A and B are shown apart, each in its own frame.
Chain A
Amino acid sequence: MTPADLIVVGAGPAGAAAALAASEAGLQVVLLDEAFAPGGQIYRAPPQPLSVAPTARGADDAAGDALRAAVAASAVVWTGGARVWSISGAFRVDAVTAAGSESFTAPRLVAATGAHERLVPFPGWTTPGVIGLAAATILLKSQGMVPGRRTVVAGCGPLLAAVAAKIVAGGGEVAAVVDLAGPGDWLKALPRMASRPDLLRQGLGWALKLGAARVPVLFRHMVTGVSGGETCETVTVAPVDAEGRLTGGRSRMFDVDALAIGHGLVPGCEIPKLLRAAHRFAPEAGGWTPVRDAFGRCSVAGLYAVGDGAAVAGAEPARLSGCLAGLAAAQDAGRLPADVFAREAGAARAALDKALVFAGAINRLMRARPAMVEAIAAETVICRCEDVRRGEIEAAIAAGAREINQLKHFTRCGMGPCQGRMCGETAATLLARHVGSREAAGYWTGRPPLRPVPLADLLGQFDYADIPVPTPAPL
């Protein structure tokens, strides 16, 4: 059991910033992450034996290196390869690490676990070769792999261009970029995006790369189906309106062996949910979000939630929100004088408000489009872990399921190893149509383990005689 002043779970831009800010203020900080190096999804480091050619390195790689150098140079105790499975009390964190199951304790905890992808099901979405934009990003960044020889990149938001450009740079072919948004939506977002010229430039760079590779971009289109048996063979796309409804326009088909697709990001707030913090439904933040004050404090004393794991806003807001929570944790621990806190947190807060302008524009492009969920066919699988189709979900609602956890009981939707991450948004959106709102539909109750974990990793070495079996019940 390793005691600290603060535990930070997640070492992306948000978690790393929280750890560094708190550490600089004098707190003893433990920083945990599943990955073997800090950086999170956006600054994911390639594994040690792999190296990235200097010419293939972009701005994200430099920022990631800087983040890793800052953590290494700090007093933060970094524990990589740590799969956090349980958080209990106030606070005890149990993680499976190379050393087995390890426990960490601290009176304060920062949750910085990032977002997960929203994916609205369509016929054939479970065909091998269909992967999320986030998964494609992992392949490209951490393994230097392209998803297929010829890929359609589809969905919405800036990840489209980022993934497509990286595939081209990695030697793959992009058959088409299929964007739910139209040129008008991007133009509308432009003034607010201009608040971050560096990111705008990065985006234009991706666009130029795609243009040079003559990659067709289909605006206001969506994927309507994938066919293929062992692997993805054909992707069909068709035009949609602003809300993602099919317009009846001509569909097109692409012969490809991969489809990278994502319909936006959802805050991965499993830790605040597990600890029973108050949440509110905030579509502009990607979905359910923990209720927080301006510095990231949740309704549970000592718990802070930051970054895309609390509200989807991108890397720079994540860094700033992490910094704020780190400062708040230090102040709450009585280690930061009020005037220093006011000065430093005030500056970070002002910068965050400014950064959120850009994030708002991006989130508008990546927003959920409930019309796409409404249009899902009865026979389409919603929960791929448990093979639950839309028709079964509708039948359960007709049989009286009024809340998402009850729907789970009725159908097994969300009971599988993805723990409801893939199907949760779709199931809740379907339920909300009947019960009036996403608030009424609710959210999955937070449960351990935070990620599925092999029993063997939890057991460790033991003798049967040493298992602390409680006293038997009366006969």
Chain B
Amino acid sequence: MSAPSDLAIVGGGIHGATVALFCARAGMKTVLFERGSLCREASGVNAGTLTMQMTRVALIPYALQAHAMWASAREWLGHDVGVVVCDGLSLAFTPREVELLSFRAGKRREAGAPIELISEATARAVEPGLGEGVLLAGHCKVDGYANAYLTGQAYRAALIEAGVDLREETPVSGVDREEGGFAVQTAAGPVRARRLVLAGGVWLEEMAAWLGIDLPIKVLVNQLAVTERVAPVMRTVVGIASGLLSLKQYPHGTVVIGGGWQGKGDRQRGGAELVPESLIGNMRLACHAIPALRDARLARAWAGLEAETADALPAAGPIPGIPDAYVCGSVHSGYTSGPYIARLLAQRILGQEPTDPLFPIDRLLASPAASPSPSADAGRATDEQPQHV
């Protein structure tokens, strides 16, 4: 039997892959398990928006750091994820949206996001494709998008170059604690490691249960749509005050329409079904914002799963009571902030002081022994809708 690894990671999305990358580069013998291929779930099928204007206030400092990471992905990741940095607009078409935008932009600004409120005329100078009736716009120069479907290809090459023992198509059926670490159970037998990171996205709940931890994770089913290639109709990332629209045109001409309208699905079936009314609603918002889109044809729509904790803040930190075991995931705006938050966890695993605080999961554990933090309760609205990027 080969010597145990320093680190085993279960789950090959943005979080698992980023932790693996930085730990392997720092010299840890790292093995990464992914039941399918890298970044083919939330990390590969999201809308790729890298915006501050849909990010939770508590995550703005993280998202700003992560935005800089995305913008320089060629340097630290070594491979292209099609990142374009451009202006972002969040639009208000009604008095209610003006109120929402003013309040939210103010809070995000306080948290460090360089958002300015601008008039319709100024917004139109930023984005000539805008439709009529804009009452106010939030304008942020730290915005942009990646080509999410390239994420897996880029990370795969980077991980192999970093010497990660990459095991795709390798489902993990459980993890056992044992002397000096963990035994990760696979069809080919157990694989031993001194440290463990669970990075399973919406499947984190099942993974935590392997260790007897009850970590409830809610599953969101986000619908997305893309047009065929069309002549330029816009040049910025466009959203609306409520956060229920994200819109951008890629250099090759397709326009991706998102915003977190919910489809149907679950952990077992994935994003199984799209809801036509929701697709139509989302497209109406899109065409209201950018009228020239009306002439484009819808080429494809799909749904991806997003994980959310009880307080809609990340689960990223050590697992209480189990030395050398960690979780990393459920980051609201996970694609935007993911690389930075995962890098913080890598710093912690490597024995360094993370440059920003992690998000320990003690507050989220269902066991009554764990006392929830005030922030956990504050976010627990029952009718809340996700924000999506």
Shortest Cβ distance from residue B118 to the other chain A in the assembled complex, whole angstroms: 20
Give the docked Cα–Cα distance between A452 and B385 (Å).
Answer: 29
Q: Distance (Å) between the CB of B220 and the closest chain A CB?
A: 10
**B261 touching A456, Cβ below 8 Å:** no
Within 8 Å by CB of A473, from B37, B243, B284, lies B243
Given contacts A403-B37, A469-B244, A472-B244, A409 and B149 within 8 Å (CB-CB): yes
Most chain-A CB neighbours within 10 Å: which of B107, B280, B384, B385? B280
Q: Are B295 and A474 in contact (CB under 8 A)?
A: no
Which one of B56, B100, B273, B301 lies within 8 Å of A89 (CB-CB)? B273
Q: How far is the CA of A443 from the CA of B91 in the complex (A)?
A: 40
Which residue on chain A has the smallest CB distance to residue B44?
A: A409
A459-475, CB < 8 A from B: 459-460, 462, 464-465, 467-475
Q: Is residue B77 within 8 Å, beta carbon to beta carbon, of the partner chain?
A: no
Q: Is the CB of B301 within 8 A of A452?
A: no
Task: Find residues 92-131 in chain B having any chain A CB closer than 8 Å to their own CB.
Answer: 93-94, 100, 103-104, 107
Q: Report chain A residues within 8 Å CB of B226.
A: 415
Nearest B residue (CB) for A412: B252
**Interface-facing stretch out of B65-73, B150-158, B207-215, B315-323:** B150-158
Q: Which of B44, B57, B264, B299 has the most CB of A within 10 A?
A: B299
**Contact A417:B299 (CB < 8 A) given known A86-B279, A470-B385, A474-B384:** yes
Across the interface, do A469 and B281 meet the contact criterion of CB distance under 8 Å? yes
Q: Does A135 contact B (CB under 8 A)?
A: no
Point out the residues of chain A lying under 8 angstroms from B281, CB to CB: 467-469
How far does the Cβ of A410 sit from chain B's closest Cβ, in whole Å? 5
Given B94, B254, B273, B385, which contacts A471 in the complex, CB threshold below 8 Å? B385
Let me know if A458 and B243 touch, CB within 8 A: no
Given A452-B298, A459-B294, A473-B386; A402-B312 close (CB under 8 Å): no
- Known contacts A406-B37, A455-B287, A472-B244: A103-B276 contact under CB 8 Å: yes
Give Cα A86–Cα B298 distance, bound, in whole angstroms.
12
B74 CB within 8 Å of chain A = no
The reply on A453 being an interface residue by CB < 8 A is yes
Whether the pair A459, B287 counts as a contact (CB closer than 8 A) is yes
Please state if A410 and B294 are interface contacts (CB–CB under 8 Å): no
The answer to whether B262 and A455 touch across the interface, beta carbons within 8 angstroms, is no
Q: In the complex, how many residue pairs between chain A and chain B have their CB atoms under 8 Å apart?
A: 159
Whether A464 and B156, one on each chain, are in contact in the complex, defined by CB atoms closer than 8 angstroms, is: no
Q: Which of B296-352 contact A (CB under 8 A)?
A: 296-302, 312, 332
Among B40, B168, B386, the residue within 8 A (CB) of A409 is B40
Tally of contact residues, B, Cβ under 8 A: 71
Contact status of A472 and B300, CB under 8 A, knowing A456-B295, A459-B280: no
CA distance A292 to B136 in the complex (A): 56
Interface residues in A84-98 (C-beta closer than 8 Å to B)? 85-86, 88-89, 92, 94
Measured in the bound complex, the distance between the Cα atoms of B242 and A469 in whole Å is: 8
Give the distance in Å from the alpha carbon of A473 to the alpha carbon of B90 in the complex.
14
Question: CA of A419 to CA of B242 in the docked complex: distance in angstroms?
Answer: 32
Are A454 and B37 in touch, CB under 8 angstroms? no
In B203-258, the 8 Å CB interface with A consists of 226-229, 240-244, 252, 254
Kindly state whether residue B52 has any CB partner on chain A within 8 Å.
no
Q: Which residue of A lies closest to B133 (CB)?
A: A464
The reply to whether the CB of A172 lies closer than 8 angstroms to some CB of chain B is no
Is there contact, CB below 8 Å, between A455 and B293? yes
Q: Using Cβ atoms and an 8 Å threshold, which residues of chain B touch A56? A: none
Q: Mark A402-441, 1 if CB is under 8 A from B, else 0.
A: 1101101110100111010000000000000000000000
Chain B contact surface mostly: mixed
Q: Is the interface on chain A under 10, 10 to 19, 20 to 34, or 35 or more residues?
A: 35 or more
Give the residues in chain A near B285, CB-CB below 8 Å: 467, 469
In the complex, chain B residues whose CB is within 8 Å of the CB of A456: 287, 294-295
Give Cα distance in the complex from A408 to B103, angstroms.
41
A229 close to B (CB within 8 Å): no
Contacting residues, chain B, for A448 (C-beta < 8 A): 274, 279, 300-301
Q: Which of B150, B302, B379 contacts A447 (CB 8 A)?
A: B302
**A449-B301, A474-B384 known; A400 vs B156 contact (CB < 8 Å):** yes
Given contacts A400-B153, A406-B40, A449-B298, contact A473 B274 (CB under 8 A): no
A399 in the interface (beta carbon within 8 A)? yes
Say how far A110's CB is from chain B's closest CB, in angstroms.
20
The reply to whether the CB of B75 lies closer than 8 angstroms to some CB of chain A is: no
Residues in chain A near residue B275, CB distance under 8 A: 88
Which residue on A lies nearest to B100, using beta carbons?
A472
Given contacts A415-B300, A449-B298, A455-B287, A470 and B262 within 8 Å (CB-CB): yes
Q: Is the CB of B228 within 8 A of A417?
A: yes
Chain B residues closer than 8 Å to A472, beta-carbon distance: 100, 241-244, 385, 387
Contacts of A280 in B (CB 8 A): none
Those of A329-370 within 8 Å (CB) of chain B: none
Q: Which residues 147-183 of B sit at the A interface, judged by CB distance below 8 A?
A: 149-150, 152-153, 156-157, 168-169
Across the interface, name the chain A residue whose C-beta is closest to B288. Answer: A464
- B175 to chain A: closest CB distance in Å? 25
**Would you call A127 an interface residue if the criterion is a C-beta within 8 Å of the partner chain's C-beta atoms?**
no
- Which residues of chain A are within 8 angstroms of B229 by Cβ–Cβ distance? 416
Q: Does B369 contact A (CB under 8 A)?
A: no
Is A471 touching B384 in the complex (CB atoms < 8 A)? Answer: yes
CB of A101 within 8 Å of the partner chain: yes
Q: Are A453 and B104 in contact (CB under 8 A)?
A: no
A276 lies within 8 A of chain B by Cβ = yes
Residue of B nearest to A449 (CB): B298
Per-residue CB contact flags for chain A residues 380-411 toward chain B (1 = under 8 Å, else 0) read 00000110000000001001111101101110
A-B contact pairs, 17 of them (CB 8 A): A88-B274, A400-B153, A415-B299, A417-B297, A447-B300, A447-B302, A448-B300, A448-B301, A454-B295, A456-B295, A458-B298, A467-B285, A470-B385, A471-B242, A473-B385, A474-B312, A474-B381
- List 12 additional A-B contacts (Cβ < 8 Å) besides A276-B272, A472-B243: A88-B276, A400-B153, A402-B37, A408-B149, A447-B302, A449-B301, A456-B295, A464-B288, A470-B385, A471-B242, A471-B384, A472-B242
Q: Which 9 A-B pairs have the closest CB atoms?
A: A473-B387, A409-B149, A472-B242, A452-B297, A456-B294, A470-B385, A417-B228, A86-B276, A94-B276
